[in-house]
Amino acid sequence: MTSTGGNETVSTSKTQAGKTPAEKAAAEPRPVTDGEYLLEVDDLGKHFPVTAGVLRRQVAAVKAVDGVSFSVRKGETLGLVGESGCGKSTTGRMIMRLLDPSFGKITFEGQDITKMPQRRLRPFRRDLQMIFQDPYSSLNPRKTVGAIVGAPFRLQNIEAEQGVKKAVQEILELVGLSPEHYNRYPHEFSGGQRQRIGIARTLALKPKLIIADEPVSALDVSVQAQVVNLLEDLQDQLDLTYVVIAHDLSVVRHISDRVAVMYLGKIVELADRTDLYERPMHPYTNALLSAVPIPDPAQRGERRRIRLQGDVPSPLDPPPACRFHTRCWKAQDICRQVEPPLVELSPGHQAACHFPENTTVSATDAVAKAAVAPGAAPAGDAGAASAADSAE
């Protein structure tokens, strides 16, 4: 057992032992092979209607998610980042089928689950689980830990071989809690331990995909690294696939194999994590990264902070063409007139920008061409002039 600065007492798992969070952060990303896709999201969108009057007629729509596409391979972790309100949670909740999409398609293990009725979704509910941001409100204070973690067995009518109590106690050990915690109540635990209870609940039925929505942002910094390490250890032990939603780019960098950056309901960049953090192509990603603190003072001087002007526009009336143009220091006429599609500008690295950075490919022409004729060959091959103006 280990006592932590975050007032948390947990047992450390075998794979965590001997590794500091910094060492783990420095570790290379786990190799993810070109395996089969577990989850495929195609042009997914959610427009929340805004109604008015006694007849509650729709007068507008909040374009919370406005056509996002990505795939997640088995065993991979995809990070989803972006400022508050950009549509991360809505995307996660649609994948979980907690919200019905307005348009688009969700495919899980090759099956289209977009409009599957709840009755047929039942078996998928075991495979798809969600970890929520707030471990305080997501646990019923009147239920014991045993009842909370054992609930999925009862809800799905599943008999555990060795009995539900034994199965729950094993899961508690797996997440670094003690089997003796079975009869305790959530208020008896620290924040980090409560998040472990939440994680234990999602593991009960051996899911394949876990959507973790801001899994550590409500926790003390000292406890955050432990919970992130736990998620990584569980992934290795249980062969899990994650979509990790966070506004904190450090957390996403630590845990993700690939990262998708969202802005106002759209994905603006998607790449392997090293590529994204070392060679961001979209100005918005550059701005976000420039705000991440660098622990090493020697490197701090090399990077200039990009301060974005103005607030994020309202998703009720997003700016036309490139949604980022109202805050982008590189914006030109074409940015206000033609929407840049998300295209591959180097292998595995997609960005939606007419003037991307950190690329020797002249993306502008190819992107504009693809914008005029969607489906036309994306950028990624030879180009003439460099479009990679660095962020000033």
> Residue 10 binds which one of ligand ATP, Mg ion, ligand SF4, none, with CB within 5 to 8 A depending on kind?
none
What is d(CA 141, CA 148) in angstroms, rounded to the nearest whole number?
10
Looking at the DSSP bridge assignments, the partners of residue 271 are 259
Question: Can you tell me whether residue 193 is helix, strand or coil?
Answer: helix
**Residue 171 is a binding residue for ligand SF4 (CB under 6 A):** no
Residues 171-200 that bind Mg ion (CB under 5 A): none
Q: Which residue's structure tokens are 């400022």? A: 83
- Type of residue at 132: F
Q: What is the DSSP letter of 143?
A: S
**Residue 84 is a binding residue for ligand ATP (CB under 6 A):** yes
Q: Which is nearer to ligand ATP, 94 or 387 (CB)?
A: 94
Q: Which is nearer to ligand SF4, 93 or 354 (CB)?
A: 354
At residue 95, φ and ψ (nearest 5 deg) are: -60, -40
Per-residue mark of binding to ligand ATP, 14-53 (x: CB under 6 A)? ----------------------------------x-----
Q: Minimum distance between the CB of residue 258 and ligand ATP, rounded to whole angstroms?
A: 18
What is d(CA 121, CA 134) in angstroms, rounded to the nearest whole number?
26
Q: Which is nearer to ligand ATP, 86 or 225 (CB)?
A: 86
Per-residue mark of binding to ligand SF4, 341-360 (x: CB under 6 A)? ------------xxx-----
What is d(CA 335, CA 10) in angstroms, rounded to the nearest whole number?
51
Per-residue mark of binding to Mg ion, 37-66 (x: CB under 5 A)? ------------------------------
Question: Can you tell me whether residue 282 is helix, strand or coil?
Answer: coil
Distance (Å) of CA 101 to CA 37, 85, 116, 255: 21, 17, 12, 28
**Residue 90 is a binding residue for Mg ion (CB under 5 A):** no
- Type of residue at 201: R
Q: Which is nearer to ligand ATP, 60 or 334 (CB)?
A: 60
Q: Which of 45, 79, 280, 340 binds ligand SF4 (CB under 6 A)?
A: 340
At residue 43, φ and ψ (nearest 5 deg) are: 50, 45
How many CA atoms lie within 13 Å of 63's alpha carbon, on the beta-carbon side?
16
Beta strand pairing call for 111-112 and 57-73: unpaired
Question: Can you tell me whether residue 258 is helix, strand or coil?
Answer: strand
Residues 266/63, Cβ–Cβ less than 8 Å = no
Looking at the DSSP bridge assignments, the partners of residue 103 are 45
Q: Minimum distance between the CB of residue 213 and Mg ion, rounded to whole angstroms?
A: 6
Q: Which is nearer to ligand SF4, 190 or 285 (CB)?
A: 285
How many CA atoms lie within 13 Å of 339's alpha carbon, on the beta-carbon side?
14
Q: Which of 211, 225, 245, 328 binds ligand SF4 (CB under 6 A)?
A: 328
What are 296's two structure tokens?
A: 């090493």
Q: Minimum distance between the CB of residue 49 and ligand ATP, rounded to whole angstroms?
A: 8
Per-residue mark of binding to ligand SF4, 285-324 (x: CB under 6 A)? -------------------------------------x-x
> Residue 355 binds which one of ligand ATP, Mg ion, ligand SF4, none, with CB within 5 to 8 A depending on kind?
ligand SF4
Q: Which of 75, 79, 81, 90 binds ligand ATP (CB under 6 A)?
A: 90
Residue 19 CA, distance from chain mean position: 25
Q: Which is nearer to ligand ATP, 83 or 344 (CB)?
A: 83
Residues 151/203, Cβ–Cβ less than 8 Å = no
Distance (Å) of CA 151 to CA 118, 135, 169, 198: 19, 16, 13, 12
Region near ligand ATP per CB under 6 A, out of 23-31, 80-88, 272-280, 284-292: 80-88
Q: Which of 89, 91, 195, 256 binds Mg ion (CB under 5 A)?
A: 89
Range list of β-strands (E), 99-166:
103-108, 111-112, 128-131
What are the residues binding Mg ion (CB under 5 A)?
A: 89
What are the residues binding ligand SF4 (CB under 6 A)?
A: 282-283, 322, 324-325, 328, 330-331, 335, 340, 353-355
What are the residues binding ligand ATP (CB under 6 A)?
A: 48, 62, 64, 82, 84-90, 247, 315
